Amino acid sequence: MRAMTVAALCMFIGVVHDTWIEWRKNRADFSEVIAWAESVIYRQKFEGASADLLNANIIARDLGLADKKELSSPDGTMTPRTIIATMTPQEAAEAYASTLHPDKG
């Protein structure tokens, strides 16, 4: 399975991506079909990743679904660090450890 993209749709209909963006912003007469097309593309990527037919990490990033968690001290004095679901366990541990020992991170 290959993920659908707006870029591929633009190639198929013979317009550059900038034209698509301009249409989305300024062409009220195209708004319904643009919303529908982008919805179909989003749903295909989401469902493909959910069914393990597409790389879930790549699709989650593309769709803006990365799971993030901000860590900081209770009093707010330490610099927050971000733990992202796609981090390796080692990366997550290092990010967490840096909240406990900010002078080492």
| Model pLDDT for residues 1-57, shown as the tens digit of each residue | 999 999 999 999 999 999 999 999 999 999 999 999 999 999 999 899 888 899 888
Query: pLDDT band at residue 58, thresholds of 50, 70 and 90?
Result: confident
33 and 73 in a single domain? The answer is no
23 and 49 in a single domain? The answer is yes
18 and 55 in a single domain? The answer is yes
27 and 46 in a single domain? The answer is yes
18 and 58 in a single domain? The answer is yes
Rounded distance between C-alpha atoms, residue 83 and residue 79, angstroms:
13
Q: Are 52 and 46 in contact (CB under 8 A)?
A: no
Supply the range of the domain harboring residue 22.
6-62
Domain count, the chain: 2
Residue 28 is given by DSSP the state: G
Query: Whose structure tokens read 């989650």?
Result: 60
Rounded distance between C-alpha atoms, residue 97 and residue 88, angstroms:
14
78 and 51 in a single domain? The answer is no
